[in-house]
Chains A and B, each alone.
Chain A
C-alpha cells in the first residue's frame, strides 16, 4: 500500500551547484548525500516537511539519468511513493501486467525501491520505495567507518 509521497526526483547537471537554490535559498536541510556507483549517479536528499526533494546528477554517460539530461535537460524527473511493503506491491503490479523498469526491488538512496516504466503511467515516471529498517543503516559517527560490527 502506498502511504505518502516520499520524494520528488529532480535531474541536475551539478549537485553541488544546485545546492545553492534548494538548500541555501529555499532552506531545505540536506540530510543525505551519496554516490551510488553501481547506478552511476550522485544523489542528495533534502527534507521538505514530511516529504523530500531528491537531486540526481549522472556521473556516467550511459545510464537513464544521463540520457534524460541529454534529451530533456535539467528538470522534474520522477515521483516516489512510499510503500509499506514494496515487495508485495511489486508482485501485485507484475500480476496486473504493469510494465516495470525493475523486475526486482533493489537498494537506492531512499531504501528498497523499484521503478515503473513511464509508459505504464502515461509518461510519468513513478518509483516505489520502502525505507530500510531505522537501525540497520545507523552507525555512530564517533566510532568511524571501520568499526561496523564492533563488539
Chain B
C-alpha cells in the first residue's frame, strides 16, 4: 500500500476572517489560499508550510452537500472551534481505499473535489474519501489524493522570516482506550509505531506514530480503565517547529498573542512555548525549537523515569489477582458482616485440613477468602501476631515452574510448586522477606 502522509490538518472555525487574521499571527505567515468549496457549502483559508498545510474551515452560508456542511455545523455547535480532521495523503486513493476496506475500515467511495482561490481565481482539484469515525475510534479522518501539482498551493509567505512556523512537529490525540487507538493506527491504517512509552509519574502513556516526518502523538492514561474502553478519542492540539522560540514569543507578544514564554521541553535539547488565549481557536498549540542536541542518541532515551513498553523477555508473567485471604475468629459473623455491609455474599464454604474453614466471596476479578484458622495452624499464628483481617494475597502466573525457577535465580526464596486447594491449580509460596511482609502465593490454573 502507498505510504500515507499527513497531507493537512483541518481546524473548524466560526468566523473565517477573524481566524485567518489570528493564524497569520500565530504561524507568522500570510495565507497561501483563501477559497471556497461550492460543492460543500464551506469556505477555507490554507497556509502551506514545509511539510504539510493547515486548513481553516468555516460554513459559507451557501447551500452545499449536507454530508460536509451539516457535519461541520454539528461539530461547531456541539464541540466549538478546534481541530476537526486529519487528511491523510496518498498518491493512489483507489488502492488506499481498497486496502483500508480489506482492513475492515468503512470508507466512502473516492469523490472528486475542487476549490477556487477567491483572490486569483486559481483552482485546485483532488479526490478524497471520508472514513466513518466509528472505525477510527471517533477521530475524523479522510484520505486525499491531489490532482493539482503541489506548486498549485504556494508556501505561505513569512511575515517575519526569523519568527515564523517552519513545519509541523506533531499532532496530539487524547485517548481513553489506548489499545483501541493502537489497533486503528497500527493494524488498520498501517502507520509505523515509532514509540510506545509510559510515564508513571505523569500517569501517561504515549504512542508515537510517524507519518513521514510528522508525529501523531496519542496520549492516554498509563493504565487502561474499564470505563475508558470504547470511548471515542479526541483531538487535542498541534506542535509547530520554529527556528527560534525567543523570536517567535517576542513577535507574538508584540502582536498581542499571549505565550508562556520559552522553557525547556520534555525532550532534552528542546525549547518550547505554549500559545495561549483565543488566537488558536480551540487548538492547544505548542511551539518547539530543536537544537542539535535534541537529535543525539541521549535525547532518544526515556526521560524522567519513563518506561518503554517494548515487550520484554520474561520467564513468566503475573497475569492477575486470584484471591485475597482475610482472617477472622468468627467466620459466620464476618460472613454476615461482608454480606450486609458491602453486599458481597458468600457463594461457597469449605474446610481445609490443617488450615481452617474458608468462605469464598466473589468480587468480580478475584475473590475474597474469609478464613477462620484452625488452632495451631500457621494462619492462626499469623492472626495472633498481626491481628485479624488482612492476611495474604494470591496472584496468578502463566507458568509456575518458570516463576519459581526465575525467582530463585534472582535470590528470592519460594517453595516448590504443590497442588493448590482448588482442583487444577498449583501454588508456590514466596518468602515474606522478599515481599515487604506480604504472604504471597503464586498460583497457576491449568
Contacts and interface: CB of A to CB of B under 8 A. Distances in A.
Interface of A: 1-5, 8, 10-13, 18, 21-22, 25-34, 44-45, 47-52, 55, 72-79, 81-82, 93, 96, 98, 116, 118, 120-126, 131, 134-135, 137-144, 146-147, 150-151
Contacts of A72: 386-387
B437 A143 contact: no
Contact of B263 (A27, A74, A116, A144): A144
Contacts of B275: 150-151
29 contacts: A2-B364, A4-B366, A10-B436, A48-B395, A49-B319, A52-B223, A72-B386, A74-B436, A75-B390, A76-B324, A76-B390, A76-B437, A76-B438, A79-B390, A81-B342, A121-B338, A131-B225, A134-B176, A134-B220, A139-B202, A141-B266, A142-B266, A146-B274, A147-B286, A150-B275, A150-B276, A150-B286, A151-B237, A151-B283
A32 B434 contact: no
Contacts of A21: 412, 434-436
Given A30-B200, A144-B286, A151-B280, 19 more contacts: A4-B365, A26-B318, A26-B395, A29-B307, A31-B205, A51-B320, A79-B368, A82-B226, A98-B341, A116-B341, A121-B337, A137-B221, A138-B174, A140-B172, A142-B170, A142-B219, A146-B274, A151-B275, A151-B276
Contacts of A81: 342, 363
Interface in B300-357: 305, 307, 309, 312, 314, 316-321, 324, 326-328, 330, 333-334, 337-338, 340-344
Chain A interface SS verdict (over half): mixed
Nearest to A116: B341
Contact of A142 (B217, B221, B327, B410): B217
Given A8-B321, A140-B217, A29 B198 contact: yes
Classify the secondary structure of B's interface with A: mixed
B305 A33 contact: yes
Given A48-B318, A146-B274, A147-B274, A77 B204 contact: no
Contact of A8 (B285, B324, B434): B324
A3 to B, nearest CB: 5
Among the interface residues B172, B219, B283, B364, which one has the most CB atoms of the partner chain A within 10 A?
Answer: B364
Contacts of B280: 150-151
Contact of A33 (B200, B239, B274): B200
A100 B276 CA distance: 44
Of A49, A73, A77, the most chain B CB neighbours within 10 A belong to A49
B425 interface: no
Contacts of A118: 389
B60 interface: no
Contacts of A33: 200-201, 305
A97 B444 CA distance: 40
B272 A4 contact: no
B203 interface: yes
Contact of B219 (A4, A8, A141, A146): A141
B227 interface: yes
B284 interface: yes
B182 to A, nearest CB: 16
Given A2-B344, A4-B364, A33-B305, A47 B199 contact: no
Contacts of B344: 2
A138 B199 CA distance: 12
A132 B303 CA distance: 26
B52 interface: no
Given A147-B284, A151-B282, A131 B227 contact: yes
A25 B330 contact: no
B333 A122 contact: yes
Contacts of B128: none
Contacts of B241: none
B437 A121 contact: no
B144 interface: no
A134 B395 contact: no
